[in-house]
Amino acid sequence: MGPATAAAEAALARRAADPLPALRRRDALPLPARLFAQLHALVLTAGLARHSPNFSLLLRLASPLLPVSHRLRLLLSSPLPPTTFLANSLLLASSSSRCLPSALSLYALLFLSSSPPLLRPNAFTYPPLFRAAPPALALALATHSVKFLGAHAASCDRVLGAALLGVFARCGRIASCRRVFDRIAHPDLPAWNALLSAYARLRARDVACATSAADAILELFVRMLSLAIEPNEITLVAVIGACGELGAVSHGVWAHTYAVKRRLAVNCIVATALVEMYAGCGRLDLAEQVFAAASDRDTRCYNAMLHGLAVHGHGRAALSLFDRMHGAGVPVDGVTVLSVMCACAHAGLVDEGLDYFDRMEIEFGTEPRIEHYGCMIDMLSRAGRLNNAEKLIHEMLIVPNAAIYRSLIRACGIHGKLELGEKMIAELMRLEPDDSGNHVLISNFYARTNRWEDAKKARKEMKSMGIDKNPGSSLVDINGVLHEFLVGDKTHPASKEIYTMVEEIETRLIECGRRSSTSSALFDVEEEDKADTLSYHSERLAIAFALIASNPGAPIRIIKNLRVCADCHESAKLVSRVYGREIVMRDRTRFHHFRDGVCSCGDFW
C-alpha cells in the first residue's frame, strides 16, 4: 500500500468516526429529516446499506433534506467504500438550478479536493451538472470534462456524448457540436436531435447563416432516415423549421404527413412549427388550417399565425385574430404586439399601428424594444410621414440602431428629402461605416435625388475599402427539388433553355407595352449587381426556369434573400397575367402574391 493510499484511507476513517451527529439528535430535526434518520437507521441495521443500489437511493432521498456537509458525511460513512457510482447518485439528486452551488461543492470535494482525488469522475458524473448550469458555466464544465475524461469519452458513451452536444448547442458552438457528433460511432436519436437542434438555434439566431443551417438540417435528416433512425417530435420541429427557411413546401408537407401517419403528437410546439413553415413557404391557407385544428394554442402559436398574416399583407385579418386572442385571455408579449404592428405596416394601416404602439405598455404591459420602434419608423417612412418618423427617433428611450436609419434614408430617397436623408446618412455611417449594404443604400439615395456624382463617389468608396456586396439569390421549389439562382447565373444544367425563356418573356412583355426602369438597372444595386442587366436578376431566372420545368398553371414559389427591386416587381405582375401563373415571392421584408397582373402588396413594400 502506497503512502498516498494510506493517507486517503486514514482521512476517510477520521471523517467516519462521527459521521452524522445531527441525525443522532433527532428531536432537533424537522419531521421529514427525522423520518429520514429513522429510514437511515433501518437501512443500516437491516444490512441493506451494503448493496450499492439501496444506498444510492438513500443518498438521493437525503439531498433535499440535508445540507451539503451532512450529505458528504453520509456518503463517506457508508458500510461500502465510497465509489464513483454513489458519488454520481448524490450529484444527480443535488443537481438542479436551485441546488447548483451545493452540487458544485460536492463535485469539488469528491473529485478535486485531494491529490490524488478520492474518486475519479466518469461519463455519468457531468451530465446532471450540465443540465443545471447556465450556458456559460455549462460550457466551462464541458471543457473541463473533456480535459478529465479525454476527447474520446464522448465516442465511448452515448449519455456523455448527448450531454456535450446539448451544451455546445445551447452555447451556439456549432463546430464543437459537430466534432462531438462525428466522434460518436453509432449516434442514437437523442444525439441526432441535439445536433439538429443546434443547427435550428443557429438558423433562428444568425440571419447570415440561416440558409446554410437549414440546408445542413435537411441533409442530416436524410442521412438519419437512411440509417433507419426513427424521428420524433423534437426531430420534426427542427426539420419543419428548416423547410420554412428554404421555402421547401413539399419537404414540409412530407414531414407533416409523416407525423400524422406515425401518430406522433402534433402538440402545440409542433403545430407552431407547422404554422411558421407553411406561412414561410407561401401556403397561408395550410397555416390557417393547422392553426384552426390546434387544440392548445398558446402565445407562441398565436404569434406564429399573426406573423404569417402580417408578412402576407393580411392586415385586417391579423387585427381580428389579435382581438380574439386578447379576448380569450391568451397572454400577450412583445412578439405579439410586434407582429400586429408589422401587419399594420405591411397593409398601410398607419393610424392603427400607431394606436397599438401607444397602447402596448399601458394596456398590454409590454415595454417597447428597438424592434417596435424600428417597425413604427419604417411604417411612417413608407407612408411619407417623414417628419413624424424623425420626431419618433428623437423621442426614443433606446439608442437607435442602423436599421432605423436605413428605413428613413430609403424613404427620403423616394420622397426627395435630401437634407433629412443626409442627416440620417451621417448617423448611419457613424454606426456601421464598413457595411456594404449601407454604401449601396447611400448610392441609391443620391441616384434617386439626381445627385449622380455623389452616387458615384459612394460606389468608389465602397470599392476602395474592399467591401463586397452580398449577391442576390433566389430559390424555387420544383417537384420537391430546390434550385438556387444567383444574378446572371449560368451554372444551372438547363442554363441555355432558361436564357432562351428569359428572352421570350421580355419580348412578350414588351409587346404588352412594358418598359424597364433604367434607374433600377443602373442604381438599384442593393438588390442585384449593377453590372448585370435587369433581365438576369435572380428572381427572373427562377421564374423562367419554373415556366419551363413546372406543370402548366401550377403556382411558382420563390424565396429571395434581398428586397425585390421595382422593375422585377413590375415584371412579375405582367408575367402572372401574360402566362396565367400565380407567382408567390418571399423577399427580405414580406410576401408578394402576383395574380392576373396585380400584387397583393398594392405596390406598397
User: DSSP states of 356-390 as a string?
Assistant: HHHHTTTTS-----HHHHHHHHHHHHHTT-HHHHH
221 and 197 in contact (C-beta within 8 Å)?
A: no
- With a cut of 80, say whether residue 5 has pLDDT above it: no
What is the spatial distance between Cα 420 and Cα 551, in angstroms, rounded to a whole number? 50
Instruction: Quote the pLDDT of residue 96.
Output: 63
565 or 499, greater pLDDT? 499
- Antiparallel, parallel or unpaired: β 556-560 and 473-478: antiparallel
- Give the domain ranges of the chain: 368-470, 473-517+531-599
- With a cut of 60, say whether residue 10 has pLDDT above it: no
68 or 424, greater pLDDT? 424
Residue-averaged pLDDT of the chain: 85
Instruction: Quote the pLDDT of residue 48.
Output: 67
| Count of Cβ atoms closer than 10 Å to residue 7 Cβ | 12
| Count of Cβ atoms closer than 10 Å to residue 333 Cβ | 14
Instruction: Give per-residue burial for 13-34: e unless 16+ CB within 10 Å, then b.
Output: eeeeeebbeebeeeeebeeebe
The backbone torsions φ and ψ at residue 415, rounded to the nearest 5 degrees and listed phi first, read -100, 5
pLDDT digits (tens, 9 = 90+) for 323-362: 999 999 999 999 999 999 999 999 989 999 999 999 999 9
- With a cut of 70, say whether residue 424 has pLDDT above it: yes
In which band, very low, low, confident or very high, does the pLDDT at 84 lie, cut at 50, 70 and 90?
A: confident
110 or 267, greater pLDDT? 267
Instruction: Quote the pLDDT of residue 185.
Output: 82
In which band, very low, low, confident or very high, does the pLDDT at 189 lie, cut at 50, 70 and 90?
A: very high
For helices 299-311 and 315-327, angle between their N-to-C axes, nearest 10 degrees: 170
Q: Which of 96-105, 265-274, 490-499 has the lowest mean pLDDT?
A: 96-105
Q: What type of residue is 553?
A: G
Instruction: Quote the pLDDT of residue 493.
Output: 95
Instruction: Quote the pLDDT of residue 447.
Output: 85
Instruction: Quote the pLDDT of residue 49.
Output: 66
Instruction: Quote the pLDDT of residue 520.
Output: 45
What is the spatial distance between Cα 181 and Cα 164, in angstroms, rounded to a whole number? 9
Calculate mean pLDDT across residues 578-594.
Answer: 94
- With a cut of 70, say whether residue 532 has pLDDT above it: no
Q: What share of the chain is helix, strand, coil (3-state, %, to 5)?
A: 65, 5, 30
What's the CATH number for 368-470? 1.25.40
What is the spatial distance between Cα 598 and Cα 140, in angstroms, rounded to a whole number? 56
What is the spatial distance between Cα 168 and Cα 190, in angstroms, rounded to a whole number? 14
Helices and strands in the chain, H and E counts: 32, 6
Calculate mean pLDDT across residues 74-93.
Answer: 79
Instruction: Quote the pLDDT of residue 288.
Output: 97
- With a cut of 50, say whether residue 25 has pLDDT above it: no
Query: What is the sign, positive or negative, of the torsion defined by CA atoms of 133, 139, 145, 147?
Result: negative
In which band, very low, low, confident or very high, does the pLDDT at 15 lie, cut at 50, 70 and 90?
A: very low
Instruction: Quote the pLDDT of residue 205.
Output: 84
Calculate mean pLDDT across residues 41-47.
Answer: 73
Instruction: Quote the pLDDT of residue 521.
Output: 44
Selection from 22-36, 87-101, 490-504 with the highest mean pLDDT = 490-504
Cell 503512502 belongs to 3
- Determine if the pTM surpasses 0.85: no
